[in-house]
Amino acid sequence: MARIDLKNIAHSYHAKPKEPGDYALKHIHSTWEEGGAYALLGPSGCGKTTLLNIISGLLTPSEGRVLYDGRDVTDLPPEKRNIAQVFQFPVLYDTMTVFDNLAFPLKNRGFKMAEITPRVREIADILDLTPFLDKRAAGLTADAKQKISLGRGLVRSDVAAILFDEPLTVIDPQLKWQLRCKLKEIHEQLKLTLVYVTHDQVEALTFADQVIVMYEGEIVQIGTPEELFENPRHKFVGYFIGSPGMNFLPCSLEGRQARVGGVTIALSPETAALGAKAEGELEVGIRPMHLEVHGAAVDGGVPVTVKSVEDQGSFRILTAMLNGHTVRARLPEGRPVPETQAWLRFPPERTKLFAEERLVV
Ligand code: ATP
């Protein structure tokens, strides 16, 4: 397993890129540690597959270098990089048995049967494929076939990294969750360097120790699921992670307070001091679960007009208007629901400031 260094990577599919918009990847400079489970998360078109293909060697970056354990592999093709890849759709041999499919990557590299058999059995066991080992892959369900594909990626213990490109897309939703947990378990057992591309936040958050959030060709934050939730460093992370996403309200600064139209919101002394040094357009950001909802005026409460209340099972989401801006707040179970008017309190320690889309730090 290897550490992966991405040094000043940029990539454009244009022959002569002129402006930032011509780049699928703008500037990626990052180190991913050996044995880490990383999810590459971001919306369609943000550059996840481009970055994965640069790591695997399917694509040579327009600029920058890729290092595995300090060794420059930028100009090496995938077969010389010692990686395993699992794609969206199963890649396997239908006429072979499940055992032979799993054994193939090892046989191909000249391993002896005495080494192959126990490893194939171990991986089959982890993936619940043992009962099918003697069956031909052709007759199996799409889910089982994708499990075999995962197994073929996991069977070699000598690879630098295993790269997954949305491998659970074709899997039944019920099984998806089981397989994600399985992958996490496998990672804990085998300590592999895993890079997993997805646009699904639930998938990324359950699987990875570190989530790499991409947006418009850049990595905007790398962090644990908790860090991304508690401390989004970019507006995109704030509204992409969490459901519903973070609230953002354009504001100006007045001493220790943020002014949003006709109302003011108290900030912590640290946030206000950072905001005073920040340049560009300011916005207040707060998670719906951190807003306090009151049915009557309270000290520090901001009046809002209630638009709707949505029941989401164990909690409800209140949607309200604050000076023409939509705000969402999470109402804990059992709390009375204000009908037309409510007061929202922004706890200063939970209220963040963003300048030009980035958290002020
Ligand atoms: P998705 O989740 O839809 O696969 P992604 O985050 O993986 O998206 P990429 O496929 O890496 O994003 O695409 C990044 C940008 O590069 C997009 O604007 C896309 O249109 C463009 N792009 C990707 N592949 C090519 C190509 N072969 N030629 C030209 N442009 C491309």
Query: Which residue, by CA, sits nearest to atom 17 of ligand 1?
Result: 45
Compute, in angstroms, the gap from residue 280 CA to the centroid of ligand 1: 30
30: number of Cβ within 10 Å: 14
11 lines ligand 1 (CB under 6 A): no
Q: Are 97 and 135 in contact (CB under 8 A)?
A: yes
Which residues lie across from 163 on neighbouring strands? 85, 195
Fill in the amino acid letter for 71. Answer: R
Q: Which residues contact 355 (CB under 8 A, 6 or more apart)?
A: 275, 278, 279, 280, 281, 282, 283
Alpha carbon distance 304, 264 (integer Å): 13
Alpha carbon distance 247, 325 (integer Å): 9
347 to 14, 187, 334, 336: CA distances (angstroms): 48, 39, 21, 20
Structure confidence at residue 288 (pLDDT): 97
pLDDT, one tens digit per residue, over 276-321 is: 999 999 999 999 999 999 999 999 999 999 999 998 888 899 999 9
Choose which residue among 49, 54, 215, 220 to substitute to test ligand 1 binding: the one with the highest number of ligand atoms within 8 A of its C-beta.
49
Alpha carbon distance 312, 242 (integer Å): 14
145 lines ligand 1 (CB under 6 A): no
**Secondary-structure class of domain 245-359 per CATH:** mainly beta
> Exposure of 286 by Cβ count < 10 A (0-12 exposed, 13-18 middle, 19+ buried)?
buried
pTM equals 0.89
47 lines ligand 1 (CB under 6 A): yes
**Secondary-structure class of domain 4-238 per CATH:** alpha beta
Could you tell me whether strands 315-322 and 247-254 are parallel, antiparallel, or unpaired per DSSP bridges? unpaired
Mean pLDDT score of the chain? 93
Question: Which 3-state string (H, E, C) describes the chain?
Answer: CCCEEEEEEEEECCCCCCCHHHEEEEEEEEEECCCCEEEEECCCCCCHHHHHHHHHCCCCCCEEEEEECCEECCCCCHHHCCEEEECCCCCCCCCCEHHHHHHHHHHHCCCCHHHHHHHHHHHHHHCCCHHHCCCEHHHCCHHHHHHHHHHHHHCCCCCCEEEEECCCCCCCHHHHHHHHHHHHHHHHHHCCCEEEEECCHHHHHHHCCEEEEEECCEEEEEECHHHHHHCCCEHHHHHHCCCCCCEEEEEEEECCEEEECCEEEECCHHHHHHHHHCCCCEEEEECHHHCEEECCCCCCEEEEEEEEEEECCCEEEEEEEECCEEEEEEEECCCCCCCCEEEEECCHHHCEEEECCEECC
Torsion of CA 230, 234, 237, 239, to 10 degrees: 90
pLDDT-above-90 percentage for the chain: 75
198 lines ligand 1 (CB under 6 A): no
Q: Any idea where the domains of the chain sit in the sequence?
A: 4-238, 245-359
Alpha carbon distance 354, 267 (integer Å): 12
- From first to last of its 361 residues, the chain has per-residue pLDDT tens of 799 999 999 999 999 999 999 999 999 999 999 999 999 999 999 999 999 999 999 999 999 999 999 999 999 999 899 899 998 888 889 999 999 999 999 999 999 999 999 999 999 998 889 999 999 999 899 889 988 999 999 898 888 899 999 888 878 887 788 888 888 888 888 788 999 999 888 888 888 999 999 999 999 999 999 999 999 999 999 999 998 999 999 999 999 999 999 999 999 999 999 999 999 999 999 999 999 999 999 999 999 999 999 988 888 999 999 999 999 999 977 777 888 999 999 999 999 999 999 999 9
Q: Which atom of ligand 1 is nearest to the CA of 46?
A: 6
Compute, in angstroms, the gap from residue 199 CA to the centroid of ligand 1: 13
Q: Are 185 and 37 in contact (CB under 8 A)?
A: no
